[in-house]
Homo-oligomer: A and B are copies of this chain.
Amino acid sequence: MSRCDPLATAIPPMKDLTTENITENVHIVNSQCRDPRLRYLHERIVTHLHDFCRETRLSTEEWQAGIQFLTEIGQISDDLRHEMILLSDTLGVSLLVDSINHPRREPATEGTVLGPFHTHDAKEKDNGAVLHSDPDATPLLVICSVKDTEGDPISDVKIDVWEGDSKGFYDVQDPNRTGPDGRGVLHSDKEGRFFFKAIVPVPYPIPMDGPVGGMLRRLGRHPNRPGHVHFMLDKPGYDLLITALYPRGDPYETSDPVFGVKESLIVDLSEVTDPAMASQYNVEMGTPLLTYDFVLLTDQQARDLRKQKAVEEMQKQNRDVVWHNGLPVPATGVQ
């Protein structure tokens, strides 16, 4: 069908809209965007949203429920409550984005979700320090090392550590919080070692009183994260490692609601059985013991991996990559 004469405007005319070609038409209108990366992001998200609607024959009532659900998530959110991040977490998106941005290869330690409980007020502590004041908790001796992929120790790595208490609560969840507890910032020594006294972590539920909780209930999912200790390892020249360690055997280990567990991050706790060790670390005999050897990638190693994977992913779309501020965009238009 012919249209009226092209109008005096720089906008490329849309074609006659149908269920099938509306996606192409949205791309045409968005092609006015001058930022090639934003253009690419919109091309892909619009394509996927439309394919979702077409594949499912999304009903008007379902669309309305989705609009309402997303709106409520925004409305319940504030500086302390990040419900949209919780949605991203429970859909596996947060873990995926983290994996994309911090790719790993053997023998580097895998990352996992940051979670909502990291703070910036944790105090610098010496090796051997006690992180927790919780009198009901089971003490845990943690002895770790940090190495590069060649096996050489990395000294002076800044290690941010945080975990919940014996009830599964983080200090920031305590309305009477007066300062940091269950957290600290350590540094690796010349041999790349760091060690501290934590507590044996326990499972805890993610918030279930908002829209995301309603979604999990409708999906028949439970809210309980398996117990873990968070670590963030940072040193200039190395790719930031945000990760966590999960003592084996937690009942929720195979069904983490935010998909944070990876096989390589599950650890077998042992016990302090050597009197010399108990004396050296000033713990009682029989204290549970967690040991782990972290391996960091350099910035260059991580950058190379990211670029390689971006090229592979664009090849799946039969496109070549060009780079825009270090991020991939296709050399050619919509396929």
A residues whose Cβ falls under 8 Å from a Cβ of B: 1, 3-4, 6-9, 11, 13-14, 16-19, 22-23, 25-26, 29-30, 32-35, 38-42, 44-46, 48-60, 62-63, 67, 70-75, 77, 82-85, 88, 91-101, 103, 218-222, 248-249, 251, 253-257, 259, 261-264, 266, 306, 309-310, 313-314, 316-317, 327-328
Across the A-B interface, give the 3 residue pairs with the lowest CB-CB distance, nearest first: A74-B74, A48-B48, A32-B220
Q: Are B16 and A263 in contact, CB atoms less than 8 angstroms apart? A: yes
Given contacts A48-B51, A255-B11, contact A95 B57 (CB under 8 A): no
Residues from chain B with Cβ under 8 Å of A11 in the complex: 222, 254-255
Residues from chain B with Cβ under 8 Å of A33 in the complex: 218-221
Q: Are B219 and A91 in contact, CB atoms less than 8 angstroms apart? A: no
Query: Other CB < 8 Å A-B pairs besides A4-B266, A19-B103, A42-B219, 12 of them?
Result: A1-B263, A7-B253, A14-B255, A16-B262, A22-B99, A26-B92, A29-B259, A41-B56, A48-B48, A55-B317, A74-B74, A75-B75
Identify 22 residue pairs between A and B in the complex whose beta-carbon atoms are under 8 Å apart, listed by A's number. Answer: A8-B251, A14-B255, A17-B262, A22-B96, A26-B92, A29-B257, A33-B221, A40-B56, A41-B56, A49-B93, A50-B92, A54-B100, A55-B314, A56-B328, A57-B328, A63-B88, A63-B97, A70-B74, A71-B73, A74-B74, A74-B84, A75-B77
Q: Are A17 and B97 in contact, CB atoms less than 8 angstroms apart? A: no
Closest to A250 in B: B7
Complex CA–CA separation, A331 to B40 (angstroms): 34
Complex CA–CA separation, A321 to B25 (angstroms): 29
Given contacts A4-B248, A6-B254, A248-B4, contact A93 B57 (CB under 8 A): no
Closest to A62 in B: B41
CB of A219, distance to nearest CB on chain B (Å): 4
Residues from chain B with Cβ under 8 Å of A316 in the complex: 55
Q: Are B23 and A53 in contact, CB atoms less than 8 angstroms apart? A: no
Q: Are A59 and B220 in contact, CB atoms less than 8 angstroms apart? A: no
Complex CA–CA separation, A73 to B257 (angstroms): 26
Closest to A310 in B: B57
Complex CA–CA separation, A41 to B52 (angstroms): 8
